[in-house]
Amino acid sequence: MAMGTETALQFLYGAMPHDFCSQRGISNYASPLGSPLKYRKKHPKNVQFAENLKRTLKKSLKIYALQRGGNPYFGNTTVGRPYFPVCCCKQSERISDIAGNGKNASWFTEIDHKKMNPYMDEAGIQGVLGLEEIRHLKNDKEDSGMGDVTPRNIPHQEREPSTENEAWRLLKESVVYYCESPVGTIAANDPSDASVLNYDQVFIRDFIPSGIAFLLKGEYEIVRNFILHTLQLQSWEKTIDCHSPGQGLMPASFKVRLVPLDGDDSPMEEVLDPDFGESAIGRVAPVDSGLWWIILLRAYGKCSGDLSVQERIDVQTGIKMILRLCLADGFDMFPTLLVTDGSCMMDRRMGIHGHPLEIQALFYSALLCAREMLAPEDGSADLIRALNNRLIALSFHIREYYWVDMRKLNEIYRYKTEEYSYDAINKFNIYPEQVSPWLVEWMPDKGGYFIGNLQPAHMDFRFFSLGNLWSIVSNLATAKQSHAILDLVEAKWSDLVADMPFKICYPALEGQEWSIITGSDPKNTPWSYHNGGSWPTLIWQLTVACIKMNRPEIAARAVEIAEKRIAKDKWPEYYDTRRARFIGKQARFYQTWSIAGYLAAKQLLANPDAAKMFMIEEDAELVNALNNMFGSSPRRKRSKKSFII
Ligand code: GLC
């Protein structure tokens, strides 16, 4: 598509109500708050026209809801099932219209979803595997030499469904509705908690395990709505003290609010209100949101069989906006994405500014997913070239410089410093004194992991779980490295899993280090919250990683441990202490991603094939380019090659 046309479409899709746009295949909605449009400054005339058009159309499409008392606990957020029983919303009708009449209408029907979903099976919905079953399953598979693991092979066994049933009930109660359509899940749903802060919002990253659980259950609508509504929020103009972050940024969270249409006594209108960090604690930019959004979009297509969402022009534009933001040139010397502290799951100061592993693993994953989903067209050739080059450079950089095991530690221990040359071995001028005593003790003989961050003269040797697990899932780690990470998880079980999986990072910052790095954060005291706390939601990423490496028994063991107490403990957000013995001091109860993470793990263990929705085979071009790069002995010589594929 010519650039001019694309620009025009971008401009229009922000401006037009859904009913109007969908007829042109642009399917998007009017910005419910009438927020300024992206291209306003550049095209004043067009925007004026669009604004007038929007106003006229919006009048006829207004969303009305009866003003009710609202939810006593969640203010104006519509959670569970409507607190606002009447909501005549044209927009949601349109979604149903598309669902009912579009070319992929069948994926909304119970009968057809199984046909369309290559990964689902009855057992995927109902089945629960215990550790023993997983062992049988694995042995059977190895004995028979079969590559295919399907739940049909699993011997039937008495099951105790109560924890799972409760989890499903709670997950469903956490669903947030916008104009009567499900659009996400609330972060925490504890009616007895009076101070909800922003836990009454739909967080993008928190919704991922919910989305996966719903996808695996064949409930696709909520995921589709989530993808399309958050896409719409991406294009809003946002400012923090007169400064606008880059276009393409996805919000950290959003909330469904009720606002009066005209005056105080008038009917209420539902609006989606995003938070891009402008009101978040610490004002942190959610860099991970857009990356997760791309990953979920691909998983949705894989699982539902409905590729029409990723093929939509507005969705393609959304993918490109995220990519452009991430691939934009800056001052960087490294291919890793440079971010501030708190830009991902650890959304407050934890000393992870710079090039944290979690962001790099998600970035790599999102690049691969986008590469697969982007429609080939002349206008995006440069973007695809930049993407390919970045993929190669990024995987080389992480695999080579972030990796530590006994051998590498010994190498660092003997590093020479102040090497001024192209061929320096100690490229980042790391002082060997950084190999601290805990690490010398902790590193197992068998196993290894990616460090948390790499900067000039600084290696953050902490083990960050999400980054390491997602490096396995996304292929950022080689097969050998992936196995070594799981070897380390097994060897360090009592540190990383202990009484509740899974430790967010190891070890905790203590003493002066804690005080300087966290800013004396009372929520992040040693072995609590982000600082060495244990987060049940991480079970699902552990499960995907273990299934990928054909070692599901590791995840099954972790799930069994979680199952012993997670429901009794009221599904807390996180646990404290070295061995995760206490419920987190400030942990929310009924935290949705703890519930959904558990459910997703159970479903995946019951139907390991379903984990394929996250797997991407590296194609021959990519593998060749990587081999060339490693083959050129990069640790010794300066590579003069640049690879363009
Ligand atoms: C906390 C977590 C963050 C999560 C949010 C909502 O701030 O650190 O990752 O998204 O709670 O659950």
Q: Is residue 617 scored above 70 in pLDDT?
A: yes
CA distances in angstroms from 269 to 128, 178, 641, listed in the order given:
42, 10, 58
CATH node for 163-624: 1.50.10.10
Angle at 475 between CA 613 and CA 612, to 5 degrees: 15
% of the chain residues with pLDDT over 90: 57
Contacts of 335 (CB under 8 A, 6+ apart): 390, 393, 394, 396, 397
Domain residue ranges of the chain, discontinuous segments joined by +: 163-624
Separation CA 481–CA 447 (nearest Å): 8
Q: Is residue 161 scored above 50 in pLDDT?
A: yes
Q: Is residue 181 scored above 50 in pLDDT?
A: yes
Of 546, 543, 534, 561, the closest CA to residue 599 belongs to 543
Does the C-beta of 187 come closer than 6 Å to ligand 1? yes
Q: Which of 77, 195, 196, 206 to mutate to test the pocket of ligand 1 (most atoms within 8 A of CB)?
A: 206
Extract the runs of DSSP E, i.e. beta strands, from 169-222. Answer: 175-178, 181-185, 202-203
Query: pLDDT by residue (tens digit) across 561-581?
Result: 999 999 999 999 999 999 999
Q: Which of 203, 344, 346, 571 to mutate to test the pocket of ligand 1 (most atoms within 8 A of CB)?
A: 203
Cα 535 to averaged position of ligand 1 atoms, centre (Å): 11
Atom of ligand 1 nearest to the CA of 588: 12
Does the C-beta of 529 come closer than 6 Å to ligand 1? no
Copy the structure tokens of residue 199: 């836990």
Alpha helices in 475-510 (DSSP H): 479-491, 493-496
Cα 272 to averaged position of ligand 1 atoms, centre (Å): 19
Query: pLDDT by residue (tens digit) across 208-229?
Result: 999 999 999 999 999 999 999 9
DSSP state letter for 109: S
- Per the listing, tokens 């044209």 go with 90
Query: pLDDT by residue (tens digit) across 385-439?
Result: 999 999 999 999 999 999 999 999 999 999 988 888 788 888 888 999 989 889 9
- Per the listing, tokens 């997760």 go with 292
Query: pLDDT by residue (tens digit) across 192-211?
Result: 887 777 889 999 999 999 99
How buried is residue 644: exposed, middle or buried, by Cβ count under 10 Å (0-12/13-18/19+)? Answer: exposed
- Confidence grade of residue 159 (pLDDT, cut at 50, 70, 90): low
Instruction: Report pLDDT for 574.
Output: 98
Question: Is the preceding peptide bond at 461 cis, omega within 30 degrees of 0?
Answer: no
Query: pLDDT by residue (tens digit) across 461-491?
Result: 999 999 999 999 999 999 999 999 999 999 9
Q: What is the mean pLDDT of residues 170-177?
A: 97
Separation CA 432–CA 440 (nearest Å): 12
Amino acid at the residue 419: E
Q: What is the mean pLDDT of residues 514-531?
A: 97
Does the C-beta of 203 come closer than 6 Å to ligand 1? yes
